A and B are shown apart, each in its own frame.
Chain A
Amino acid sequence: MFAIYKKELSSYFNSTLGYIIIALYLLFSGFFFWMICFNSGANALADVVNYMLYIVFFLVPLITMKSFADEKHQHTDQALFTAPVGLWEIVLGKYLSALTLYALCNLVFIFYALILMAVTGATIAWGHLLGAIIGIILLGAAMLSLNLLFSSLTEHQIIAAVVGIATGLVFMLYDSIVGAVENFINTLFGGDYQVVVLDKLSVTSHYQNFYKGILSPVDFVFFLSFVVLFLFLTNRVLDRRRWV
């Protein structure tokens, strides 16, 4: 597993992809940082994290799009799948390297906090900020596992990215979509129905708990099961390939 992890991580930095992702992350977060903390003068770094949420849904698919699609396309998967390593080692190696790159991007918020302290002398609400950072990392971790699955389903990285971004859009607007469904049902049947279960699957509302500073095991378990589910499905997709 470690060999694959190492190779994947270094391949992000041997190609332009890793740098593009980091650059985009810095660009957007820097823009929000400047807007909120300097232009509006609010000492609210956690809100910067909050805004980045909109970007994460579009950036995450770029991190994993190559993972399995490109291996298949370049026929290098034949080396991976005929080597004496298990499928789980391959899936986890790829997943953890993507997660590492993503987590590295999020380190930038710590630097913003230090800059803010140095320039304005403001005191940072570390608890609030760290909660938001943990939240955004967990949300990204969940989306990474889903996008890894998309990458294993196709041979073309662009398809994996496009499907990932479209799905990301759905997850981003999930609460509004559920609300719209609720409204639709209520006007149709004229009542005050509430959608249950479905609203619990919103990744953004689970993130919001972290942003609010609530570190509840429920949210941890939610994200963890999300990741496990989609890594498991990825594993199954790769295993199935041998049979068709």
Chain B
Amino acid sequence: MVEVKNLVKSYGNIDAVNNISFTANVGEVLGFLGPNGAGKSTTMNIISGYLSATSGTVTIDGYDIVDEPKEAKKRIGYLPELPPVYQEMTVKKYLNFMYELKKATQPREEHLNEIMKQCGILEISDRIIRNLSKGYRQRVGVAQALVGNPPVIILDEPTVGLDPKQIIEMRTLIKNLGKKHAVIFSSHVLSEVSAVCDRIVVISQGRIVADEATNKFSYMNTEEMKLTLTVEGTSATVISAVSSVDGVTKVRRGDRQSDSVCNYSVEYKKDVDVRKGIFRALAKADCPILQMKDAGMSLEEMFLTLTTPTYQDKGGRD
């Protein structure tokens, strides 16, 4: 549905967006993840036609955003970083204006009520936007993007400024939208992206450094896997016992929990399951395992690895 090809946006000598390509399909929530200033908003502004790219193309449902802007824009609902709401209008008036602006064809009353219900703003529909809290304004912004029921929904950090309950509601809303739309949504909150998205695109300094399905994400790009152990026994015995297991590459002692109980972190080669081996080795050494946990690489660690410049200097992924 959305096809982005070799997108570049330069400001003078600085490339805000550097050769980005990806696709998003209907029935999919695509998470756009990156630190502040990575080029997320710029990319979204280009996809929605607000900015023009220096080079590269964006096509929405086969329509080029530059060559056939009206057809392409008809298919996009966009919530920019700051909700584009008119302060002096009431919520209802504003949505009516957006309905007319987008030349929507759905039965008006029904369609707008449905959207307001979906976004939880039905009870404030007669209030003036100026007097609304940040969270409500954000929701009005989302409602605006849904007017006309476009197949592509682009949301730039939609959960910023919401309280925890609203964040959960917003995530549910996004997830539901993903069933019938192609949703692209950006965030720098990692847990949120992993909870909501089917696919994650990580962008850093204008480049894509990862593009993977969410469930594969935490394991990719790592040669080493990690376990954390909590074991009772002297450290020297434990370390030597675990090190002797086939596939284990590194054992390190972590925090001490009590006199005889310690945490250990174990690194081992990908594709080898060392858990049984560790169990037998420690049983033999008479060191009971109190806890064994697959640490994988957490999304946070993954994110930091991917977005620190040293990783990218090694080539990253284009």
State the A residues within 8 Å of B (CB): 2-4, 6-7, 11, 14-15, 74-86, 242-244
Q: Which residues of B contact A77 (CB under 8 A)?
A: 84
Please tell me if the beta carbons of B70 and A82 are within 8 angstroms of each other in the complex: no
For B11, B45, B84, B97, which residue has the most chain A Cβ atoms within 10 angstroms?
A: B84
A83 B86 Cβ-Cβ under 8 A: no
B158 on interface, CB distance cutoff 8 Å = no
B49 → chain A closest CB, angstroms: 6
CB distance from B245 to the nearest CB of A (A): 57
Q: Is the CB of A82 within 8 A of B73?
A: yes
B50 touches A81 (CB 8 A): yes
Partner among B76, B86, B97, B100 whose Cβ is within 8 Å of the Cβ of A82: B76
A77 to B11, alpha carbons, bound, how many Å?
A: 21
Q: Report yes or no: B88 in contact with A15, Cβ–Cβ below 8 A.
A: yes
**Could you name 14 residue pairs across A and B whose Cβ atoms are closer than 8 Å?**
A6-B100, A15-B88, A74-B87, A75-B83, A78-B45, A78-B78, A79-B98, A80-B84, A81-B50, A82-B48, A84-B73, A86-B70, A242-B50, A244-B11
Interface size (B, Cβ < 8 Å)?
A: 30
Q: Complex formed: what's the CA distance from A76 to B73 in Å?
A: 16
Q: How far is the CA of A15 from the CA of B84 in the complex (A)?
A: 18
Q: Establish whether residues B52 and A82, one from each chain, have CB atoms under 8 Å apart when the complex forms.
A: no
Q: How far is the CA of A4 from the CA of B97 in the complex (A)?
A: 8
B residues 43-97 in Cβ contact with A at 8 Å? 45, 48-52, 69-71, 73-74, 76, 78, 80, 82-89, 97
In the bound complex, residues from chain A placing their C-beta under 8 Å from that of B70 are 84-86
Residues on B with beta carbons closer than 8 Å to the beta carbon of A79 = 78, 80, 84, 98, 101, 144
Q: Across the interface, which residues of B come within 8 angstroms of A15, CB to CB?
A: 88
A6–B86 CA distance with the chains assembled, in angstroms: 14
Task: Specify which of B50, B74, B97 is in contact with A84 (CB 8 Å cutoff).
Answer: B74
Question: Within 8 Å of chain A (Cβ to Cβ): is B188?
Answer: no
Query: Nearest-CB distance from B43 to chain A (Å)?
Result: 14
CA distance A11 to B87 in the complex (A): 10
Contact pick for B49, options A74, A76, A82, CB 8 Å: A82
Contacts of B74 in A (CB 8 A): 84
Asked, given contacts A15-B88, A83-B73, A84-B73, whether A78 binds B80 with beta carbons under 8 Å apart, the answer is yes
Smallest CB-CB separation from B51: which chain A residue?
A242
A15 to B128, CA, bound (A): 12
Which B residue's beta carbon lies closest to that of A10?
B93
Residues of chain B contacted by A78 (CB below 8 angstroms): 45, 48, 50, 78, 80, 82, 84
Tell me, rounded to whole Å, the shortest Cβ–Cβ distance linking A11 to chain B.
Answer: 7
Query: Of all chain B residues, which has the CB nearest A87?
Result: B69
CA distance A35 to B80 in the complex (A): 54
State the CA gap A220–B50 with chains docked (Å): 37
